[in-house]
A and B are shown apart, each in its own frame.
Chain A
Amino acid sequence: QVVLQESGPGLVKPSETLSLTCTVSNDSISSYYWSWIRQPPGKGLEWIGCIYYSGSTNYIPSLQSRVAISIDTSKNQFSLKLTSVTAADTAVYYCARTPRFLEWVSGAFDIWGQGTMVTVSS
């Protein structure tokens, strides 16, 4: 059973950088697309971006200037950095996997982490 686990600070100050890591257990991180998706309290889902195990990335244009997703295949982890955060970035952040037989554009996410709440506040 593949398990994804997000980790990182639950509180970030405005204008600082949000940093999260997703650890993949019980399977290799190779040959998949990995995404970050967030959900503000009481609201809908927002896809942030994705990374292939080779390191190629795609980001939503509205966040592209502030976001970076990286991957460490040796640790079976991938990470999210979001700079210059504001209260609008307060959300539950999920990491998720696209099935091996699909491309990331499918919008298919078959495995999700449990999510981690990140609050932006001074």
Chain B
Amino acid sequence: QSALTQPASVSGSPGQSITISCTGTSSDVGSYNLVSWYQQHPGKAPKFMIYEVSKRPSGVSNRFSGSKSGNTASLTISGLQAEDEADYFCCSYAGRGILIFGGGTKLTVL
């Protein structure tokens, strides 16, 4: 099972909105509404940001939102802030008892 495809990097200025894509196949992202997103600052454990495509856990800012179209899930961050600079990973159920992650996207706040 291959990793989900994410852009290596994205960037944006404070206050802007950015979107990170997570592309899979009809066997994983396209088949299940079981996509989650994680934020990871350098040297830290990942932080839970989104689950089941678009649901936000308690305590996560509403500047973070998730969506899905076909085989591609997306994470949008609005009102970009300096502390949003981090790596972001998507995760999807791929059937047959497998969870797969994306390769990660480095977000730079200019």
Max chain B C-beta neighbours (<10 A), residue from A59, A61, A62, A108: A108
The residue of chain B having its C-beta at the shortest distance from the C-beta of A58 within the complex is B97
Contact pattern, A 41-71, Cβ under 8 Å of B = 1, otherwise 0: 0011111000000000011111000000000
Q: Are A112 and B46 in contact (CB under 8 A)?
A: yes
Whole-angstrom CA separation of A108 from B45 in the bound complex: 14
Number of interface residues of B (CB under 8 A): 27
Distance between Cα atoms of A94 and B89 in the complex (Å): 15
Partner pick for B101 among A45, A59, A99, CB 8 A cutoff: A45
A61 CA to B96 CA, complexed, in Å: 9
Residues A107 and B103 in contact, CB atoms below 8 Å apart: no
Give A46 to B98 CA distance when docked, in angstroms.
11
A35 → B minimal CB distance (Å): 8
Task: Compute how far the CA of A99 lies from the CA of B57 in the bound complex, rounded to whole angstroms.
Answer: 10
Contact assessment for A44 and B45 in the assembled complex, using a CB-CB cutoff below 8 Å:
no
With a cutoff of 8 Å between Cβ atoms, the chain A residues found around residue B46 in the complex are 45, 94, 109, 112
Chain A 85-117 per-residue mask, 1 if CB under 8 angstroms from chain B, else 0: 000000000100001001011111110111100
- Residue B52, interface by CB 8 Å: yes
The 3 closest A-B pairs by CB, nearest first: A112-B45, A107-B91, A108-B51
